Structures are given as structure tokens and as C-alpha cells.
Structure 1
């Protein structure tokens, strides 16, 4: 599974500030690939 630095940063940020940022919490709950708008095969 490949992830760009931006995706990694957003994922980490979403986990850290899940309580503060509703949008990040929402993205964290759905598959990161869907959150980024990129299809990913399991």
C-alpha cells in the first residue's frame, strides 16, 4: 500500500485532532482511499 507524504500527514493529523476537527474525524472513519478520492484495492 503506497501513501504520499500528504496522505500520511492528513491521516496522522486526522487521528491527532479527531476530537477537534469534525471533517478529519469523518475522513478517519471512512477508508483513507475514499477520503482522498482515490480507488484502492484491498
Structure 2
């Protein structure tokens, strides 16, 4: 049972980190687009 719980926690942590990575990527992209607009 403990092993199963750890596996579920690991899966939750993995999905959280994936969501964070996607969030960081979108923030980075919007910053790049803003700089690009300011460049004109």
C-alpha cells in the first residue's frame, strides 16, 4: 500500500512540474512577444 501511495504522489508531482514548465514557457513567450513589439 505504501508503494502505491508513493507512486501516486510521484505522479502528482510530475504533473505539477509539467504544468509549471508549461506556465513558465507561456510567460517566457509573452515576454519575448512584448519585447518584440517594443522593438518596433
TM > 0.5 fold call: no
Instruction: Tell me which of the two structures has the higher relative contact order, counting C-alpha pairs closer than 8 angstroms and 6 or more residues apart.
Output: 1
Normalization by structure 2: what TM-score?
0.37
Greater fraction of residues in helix: 2
Q: Of the two, which has the highest radius of gyration?
A: 2
Normalization by structure 1: what TM-score?
0.35
